[in-house]
Chain A
Amino acid sequence: MKDKLAKIMEQAIAQIDASGELDKLNDIRVAFLGKKGELTSVLKSMKDVALEDRPKVGQMVNEARSRIEQRLEEKKSSFEQKLLEEKLKGETIDVTLPGRRQAAGHRHPNTITLEDVENIFVGMGYQVVEGPEVEYDYYNFEALNIPANHPAKDEQDTFYITKDILLRSQTSSVQVHEMEKGKLPIRMIAPGRVFRSDEVDATHSPTFHQIEGLVIDKNITFADLKGTLQEFAIRLFGEGTKVKFRPHHFQFTEPSAEMDVSCFKCGGKGCRFCKGSGWVEILGCGMVHPHVLEMSGIDPEQYTGFAFGVGLERIALFKYEIDDMRLLYENDTRFLKQF
Chain B
Amino acid sequence: MNTSLSWIKAYVPDLDCSAQEYTDAMTLSGTKVEGYTEFDKNLDKIIVGKINKIEKHPDADKLIICQVQVDEEGKEIQIVTGAPNVKEGDKVPVVLEGGRVASSHKDGDSENGFKIKKGKLRGVESFGMMCSIDELGSSTDMYPDAAKDGIYILSDNPEYAEAPVGSDAVELLGLHDVAFEYEITSNRVDCFGVLGIAREAAATFGKKFVPPVITETGNEEDVNDYISVEVQDSALCKRYTARVVKNIKLAPSPEWMQRRLASVGIRPINNLVDITNYVMEEYSQPMHAYDLDTIEDRKIVVRRAADGEKFTTLDGQERELDSTMLMICDGRKAVGLAGIMGGENSMITDDVKTMLFEAATFDGTNIRLSGKKLGMRTDAQAKFEKGLDPNTAMEAMNRACQLIEELGAGEVVGGAVDYYPVKKEPISIAYDADKINALLGTDISEDDMVGYFETIDLEVDREKKIVIVPTWRQDLERLADLTEEVARFYGYDKIPMTLPESSATMGGLSEKLILESEVRGVVESYGFCEGMTYSFESPKVYDKLNLADDDMLRRSIVISNPLGEDYSVMRTSALGGMLTSLATNYNRRNKDVRLYELANVYLPKKLPLTELPDERVQMTLGMYGQGDFYDMKGVLEEIFSKLALTGKREYSPLAGKNFLHPGRQADVVYEGKPVAYLGEVHPAVLKNFGIGERAYLAVVDLAELIAMPKEGVKYAGIPKFPAITRDISLMMKKEILAGQIEAAIEKKGGALVESYELFDIYEGSQILDGFKSLAYKIVFRANDRTLTDDEVNGVMDKIIAELDKLGASLRK
Contact = CB atoms under 8 A, between A and B. Distances in A.
Interface of A: 102-108, 110-111, 118, 121-130, 132-136, 149, 151-152, 154-155, 159-162, 165, 167, 185, 187, 193, 195, 197, 199, 206-207, 215, 217-224, 226-228, 230-231, 244-249, 254-257, 287, 289-291, 304, 328-334, 336-337
B32 A151 contact: no
Interface string B562-600: 110001001000000000010011001010111110001
A107 B533 contact: no
A206 B503 contact: no
A331 B531 contact: yes
Nearest to A281: B32
Given A135-B612, A149-B365, A223 B585 contact: no
B561 A160 contact: yes
Of A126, A227, A304, A334, most buried by chain B (CB within 10 Å of CB) is A227
A303 to B, nearest CB: 10
A154 B369 CA distance: 10
A329 B369 CA distance: 34
Given A105-B523, A133-B600, A207-B536, A122 B509 contact: yes
Contact of B496 (A226, A246, A248): A226
A215 B529 contact: no
B569 to A, nearest CB: 10
B583 to A, nearest CB: 10
A333 B502 contact: no
B443 to A, nearest CB: 11
Contact of B483 (A110, A206, A255, A333): A255
Contact of B493 (A123, A244, A249, A331): A244
Interface in B479-508: 479-481, 483-484, 487-488, 492-493, 495-508
21 contacts: A103-B592, A104-B524, A105-B523, A122-B508, A134-B609, A162-B560, A219-B502, A221-B440, A222-B495, A223-B442, A224-B441, A224-B499, A228-B500, A244-B493, A245-B495, A247-B488, A249-B186, A255-B484, A256-B484, A329-B532, A332-B588
Of B479, B532, B593, most buried by chain A (CB within 10 Å of CB) is B532
A207 B534 CA distance: 6
Contacts of B610: 162
B567 A206 contact: yes
Given A134-B570, A331-B595, A221 B563 contact: no
Contact of B524 (A105, A136, A222): A105
A336 B530 contact: yes
A333 B585 contact: yes
A161 B531 contact: no
Contact of B581 (A102, A122, A185, A331): A331
Interface string B512-533: 1100000010011111111111
Of B497, B503, B508, most buried by chain A (CB within 10 Å of CB) is B497
Q: Give the 10 A-B CB pairs with smallest separation, nearest first.
A: A223-B441, A221-B441, A247-B30, A331-B531, A249-B185, A255-B484, A105-B524, A331-B581, A227-B497, A108-B530
B535 A107 contact: no
B561 A223 contact: no
A206 B534 contact: yes
A337 B588 CA distance: 15
B725 interface: no
A161 B438 CA distance: 43
B639 to A, nearest CB: 14
A122 B514 CA distance: 13
B781 interface: no
Contact of A221 (B188, B439, B608): B439
Given A244-B493, A247-B492, A332-B585, 6 more contacts: A103-B527, A107-B530, A165-B609, A218-B502, A219-B502, A221-B498
B527 A132 contact: no
Given A105-B526, A127-B508, A223-B496, A290 B387 contact: no
Given A128-B509, A129-B510, A223 B480 contact: no
B439 A222 contact: yes
A105 B186 contact: no
Contact of A331 (B387, B509, B532): B532
Contacts of B496: 223, 226-227
A195 B602 CA distance: 14
B674 interface: no
A180 B384 CA distance: 36
A254 B479 CA distance: 9
B68 interface: no
Interface in B346-395: 364-365, 368-369, 385-387
B502 A220 contact: yes
Interface string B379-422: 00000011100000000000000000000000000000000000
Nearest to B517: A115
B558 interface: yes
A223 B497 contact: yes
A105 B530 contact: yes
A212 to B, nearest CB: 15
A255 B505 contact: no
Nearest to B596: A105
Nearest to A198: B563
Nearest to A209: B532
Contacts of A289: 480
B186 A336 contact: no
Contacts of B442: 222-223
A122 B502 CA distance: 16
A215 B386 contact: no
A132 B509 contact: no
Nearest to B588: A332
A135 B613 CA distance: 9
B42 interface: no
B93 to A, nearest CB: 31
A111 B188 CA distance: 37
Given A106-B524, A247-B29, A332-B590, A221 B585 contact: no
Contact of A165 (B510, B529, B612): B612
A103 B560 CA distance: 43
A246 to B, nearest CB: 6
Contacts of B523: 105
Given A207-B534, A220-B502, A332-B585, A134 B440 contact: no
A147 to B, nearest CB: 10
B615 interface: yes
B588 A334 contact: yes
A255 B508 contact: no
A156 to B, nearest CB: 11
Contacts of B27: 246
Contacts of A246: 27-28, 30, 32, 492
A215 B29 CA distance: 25
B594 A223 contact: no
B612 A132 contact: yes
Given A161-B557, A228-B500, A246-B492, A106 B588 contact: no
Nearest to A260: B27
B530 A134 contact: no
B507 A123 contact: yes
Contact of B508 (A111, A128, A167, A206): A128
Nearest to A231: B499
A100 to B, nearest CB: 14
Contact of B481 (A104, A195, A244, A254): A254
Nearest to B581: A331
Nearest to B386: A151
B527 A245 contact: no
B499 A228 contact: yes
A106 B529 contact: yes
A336 B529 contact: yes
A134 B534 contact: no
Contacts of B531: 108, 331, 336
Nearest to B512: A130
B559 interface: yes
Contacts of B535: 133, 167, 193, 195, 207
A160 B557 CA distance: 11
Contacts of A290: 478-480
